[in-house]
Amino acid sequence: MTSIKHYISIVLLLFLSTVSFAADKALPVILATLTSAPQVPSPITRDYPAKVVVRLETVELIGQLSDGVDYTFWTFGGTVPGSFIRVRSGDVVEFYLDNHPSSKMPHNIDLHAVTGPGGGATSSFTAPGHTSQFTFKALNPGLYVYHCATAPVGMHIANGMYGLILVEPEEGLPKVDKEFYVMQSEFYTKGAYGEEGLQSFDMAKALTEIPDYVVFNGSVGAMTGENAVVANVGETVRMFVGNGGPNLVSSFHIIGEIFDNVYVEGGDLINHNIQTTMVPAGGSTIVEFKVDVPGTFIIVDHSIFRAFNKGALGMLKVNGKPELDIYSGKQKDTVYLPEGGGIQSLSNTARAAPKAKTKEEQILFGKRVYEQNCQACHQANGQGIPNAFPQLAGSDYLLSNPKRSIGVILNGLSGKITVNGKDYDGVMPAVNLSDEKMANVLTYILNSWNNNGGKIDAIEVSEARSQH
């Protein structure tokens, strides 16, 4: 009996080992779903490895680089950046590269996710109208750049041949509400930025590494306005960010957001609370953040001239109700007029006595002093409020003796007064102003609302002050 049991268990063992050996060959076959930016294929839900078939076509086509600016892009999948590929760590990827018959160039692919010579480049060199096929095992989870590596490599990349492949960890990535594909790159054109027409590649500019265009997702405006990516307040957002280069390192930043998590360089080291993260040429990063408040959040390469002058600008539009305890929006807009009124020079000469102001300057500065200190009571046009605040426009009290008003502002005013035949018996508090500001506000009042002009100088205020 025992020997039979023993025999059976040996057979069973042998059987099991054959099954597990065969399992690699008998993986379920899945055709990869590819997406173009900013779309990302859905997260992988399976908990077992598969043979994933990827078919990617290289095609050369004319597209828009900016308004009125065209460019002959060399693409993976007909778009720049190329199609997003999503597989799972441990998957066997059966890769087909189809080079469209209309192509003028041979192409190949170097996937940074591949462990093997050239990242697949040596096995995938493909003439126009041909297909190459090779297989690799996705050993390391991470977010990887792929690009064409056909000579001249720089030129193939500069013309748009790059994209991202995500190798998800076996356990998957944490669930988020929105995922986006964002890839930065540069274009070197014969014409300067914005010069219209079909632009060709400029090798000399590429060598000096001074691009005319730096863009997200292949063209100026690919992620702005109508093309902005969208999320709702309270949602979690993940961006798969790549940099195709060919030359520049990106300082990836979203204005008004802080990355809760950054998968540094697309690997599994997670950094927290990051404002700007570097994405090297031929590298990637994954950023995650929760959108807490509504608004338009500008995505930039914080090497900021690239953003505002070369196109490296995208938008994330967040819809929803304001969260005023997190961000109030503008609460006040009041006039700020520093002591002395004007712009101060930092040089030593600034310590010299300020230059006397012309009447026009006094009126200009005085208007701001008025808006800040007087308007609430005496109203915008000096018309006052009947029975409460006397008018300053056409006030006989004021105009018959303008210098008396210095005292009114300095000390306040109470008790019965008569202005243009009407009695007032209110209280005006003293307003604490510098000599300069007081002179300016009174000069402004004297020259506004059909009042009959005049000028009060700071020195007069100073004298009046010493008398009181």
Which residues would be at the binding site for Cu ion (CB under 5 A)?
107, 148, 150, 156, 161
Structure tokens at 3: 């020997």
Binding residue for ligand HEC (CB under 6 A) from 424, 457, 458, 464? Answer: 424
In the bound state with ligand HEC, the residue whose beta carbon lies nearer, of 57 and 457, is: 457
Pick out residues in 319-378 that bind ligand HEC (CB under 6 A).
Answer: 373-374, 376-378
- Report, in Å, the least distance between residue 336 CB and ligand HEC: 17
**Do residues 220 and 64 lie in contact, with contact meaning Cβ atoms separated by under 8 Å?**
no
Calpha distance 408→461 (Å, rounded): 12
Binding residue for ligand HEC (CB under 6 A) from 239, 337, 398, 439? Answer: 398
In the bound state with Cu ion, the residue whose beta carbon lies nearer, of 88 and 156, is: 156
Pick out residues in 429-468 that bind ligand HEC (CB under 6 A).
Answer: 429, 431, 441, 445
In the bound state with ligand HEC, the residue whose beta carbon lies nearer, of 118 and 407, is: 407
Say which entry of Cu ion, ligand HEC, none residue 150 contacts (CB below 5 to 8 A, set by partner kind): Cu ion
Say which entry of ligand HEC, Cu ion, none residue 284 contacts (CB below 5 to 8 A, set by partner kind): none
Say which entry of Cu ion, ligand HEC, none residue 148 contacts (CB below 5 to 8 A, set by partner kind): Cu ion
Judged by CB under 6 A, which stretch of 186-194, 235-243, 356-364, 403-411 contacts ligand HEC?
403-411
In the bound state with ligand HEC, the residue whose beta carbon lies nearer, of 79 and 405, is: 405
Calpha distance 23→17 (Å, rounded): 10
Pick out residues in 216-235 that bind ligand HEC (CB under 6 A).
Answer: none
In the bound state with Cu ion, the residue whose beta carbon lies nearer, of 247 and 447, is: 247
- Phi/psi at 410 (nearest 5 deg)? -60, -45
Tell me the C-alpha to C-alpha distance, in Å, between residue 292 and each of 263, 325, 424. 21, 10, 53
In the bound state with Cu ion, the residue whose beta carbon lies nearer, of 155 and 461, is: 155
Binding residue for ligand HEC (CB under 6 A) from 173, 183, 428, 446? Answer: 428
Size of the site for ligand HEC (CB under 6 A): 29
| Interaction between residue 417 and ligand HEC (CB under 6 A) | yes
Return the SS3 of 152: coil
Q: In terms of Cα–Cα distance, which of 177, 176, 174, 120 is closest to 144?
A: 120
Could you tell me the maximum CA-CA distance found in the chain, to the nearest angstrom? 130
Beta-ladder partners of 107: 126
DSSP 206-221: HHHT--SEEEETTSTT
| Interaction between residue 395 and ligand HEC (CB under 6 A) | yes
- Report, in Å, the least distance between residue 206 CB and Cu ion: 15
First to last CA, the chain: 123
- Report, in Å, the least distance between residue 464 CB and ligand HEC: 13
Structure tokens at 313: 């600008």
Structure tokens at 249: 């390192």
List b or e across 172-182, with b for residues whose CB sees 16 or more CB atoms inside 10 angstroms.
ebeebebbbbb
**Do residues 255 and 275 lie in contact, with contact meaning Cβ atoms separated by under 8 Å?**
no
Say which entry of ligand HEC, Cu ion, none residue 417 contacts (CB below 5 to 8 A, set by partner kind): ligand HEC
**Do residues 75 and 156 lie in contact, with contact meaning Cβ atoms separated by under 8 Å?**
no
In the bound state with Cu ion, the residue whose beta carbon lies nearer, of 95 and 297, is: 95
Residue 305 neighbours by CB under 8 Å, 6+ apart: none
Tell me the C-alpha to C-alpha distance, in Å, between residue 99 and each of 31, 60, 104, 144. 19, 9, 10, 22
Helical residues (DSSP H) of 345-447, grouped into ranges? 359-373, 375-378, 396-399, 404-411, 435-446
| Interaction between residue 405 and ligand HEC (CB under 6 A) | yes
In the bound state with ligand HEC, the residue whose beta carbon lies nearer, of 27 and 408, is: 408
In the bound state with Cu ion, the residue whose beta carbon lies nearer, of 153 and 264, is: 153
Judged by CB under 6 A, which stretch of 96-104, 125-133, 286-294, 410-418 contacts ligand HEC?
410-418
- Residue that has been written with the tokens 């002179």 in this structure: 439
- Report, in Å, the least distance between residue 17 CB and Cu ion: 44
In the bound state with Cu ion, the residue whose beta carbon lies nearer, of 161 and 438, is: 161
- Report, in Å, the least distance between residue 397 CB and ligand HEC: 4
- Report, in Å, the least distance between residue 144 CB and Cu ion: 18
- Report, in Å, the least distance between residue 80 CB and Cu ion: 12
Beta strand ranges found along 304-373 (DSSP E):
313-319
DSSP 356: P
Phi-psi region of 267 (alpha: psi -120 to 50; beta: other; left: phi over 0): beta
Beta-ladder partners of 262: 271, 287
Chain positions contacting ligand HEC, by CB under 6 A: 373-374, 376-378, 389-392, 395, 397-398, 405, 408-409, 413-415, 417, 419, 424-429, 431, 441, 445
